[in-house]
Amino acid sequence: MKLYDLAMVCRSKNAGPFQVTIDLMFTDEASYRQVLEAPCFTPETIGGLYQVPAESVAIKRFDRILTIKVVLPRRVPSGSPGDSDVYGSQQHFPLGDLEI
């Protein structure tokens, strides 16, 4: 099952010019926990998907609202030459496609 199938919301946005956040929101605790406990849901795997060092990937959990926020550095600063997504709104696709 893909992460897209478990999360009610999977979206990305800029967190300043040098970082992107990916928000994962769930409707039930079982799906939320399934993702958090998945062996593949790690900074190493996510770093590989986005071609950034694992130590620069932060996974922040918000248990009370069944939400996970993944923060990672942008490979190219927002608005600089070579940036294809100034707002960071299309960066969730590799993570959403992750097989859980």
The pLDDT of residue 40 is 97
Is residue 84, in this structure, part of any structural domain at all? yes
Is residue 83, in this structure, part of any structural domain at all? yes
Is residue 67, in this structure, part of any structural domain at all? yes
Domain with 65 in it: 3-95
Is residue 63, in this structure, part of any structural domain at all? yes
**Tell me: the pLDDT tens digits for 28-45?**
999 999 999 999 999 999
Is residue 47, in this structure, part of any structural domain at all? yes
Cα–Cα distance measured from residue 20 to residue 76, given in angstroms and rounded to the nearest whole number: 11
Is residue 11, in this structure, part of any structural domain at all? yes
Cα–Cα distance measured from residue 48 to residue 43, given in angstroms and rounded to the nearest whole number: 8
Query: Which pTM value belongs to this model?
Result: 0.90
**Tell me: the pLDDT tens digits for 71-99?**
999 988 888 888 788 878 888 999 999 99
- The Cα diameter of the chain in Å comes to 42
Q: How many domains does the chain have?
A: 1
Q: Does the pLDDT at position 1 exceed 90?
A: yes
Name the residue with higher pLDDT: 86 or 18: 18
**Tell me: the pLDDT tens digits for 45-72?**
999 999 999 999 999 999 999 999 999 9
Is residue 100, in this structure, part of any structural domain at all? no
Burial readout 37-70 (b: 16 or more C-beta within 10 A, e: otherwise): ebeebebebbbebbebeeeebebeeeeeebbbeb
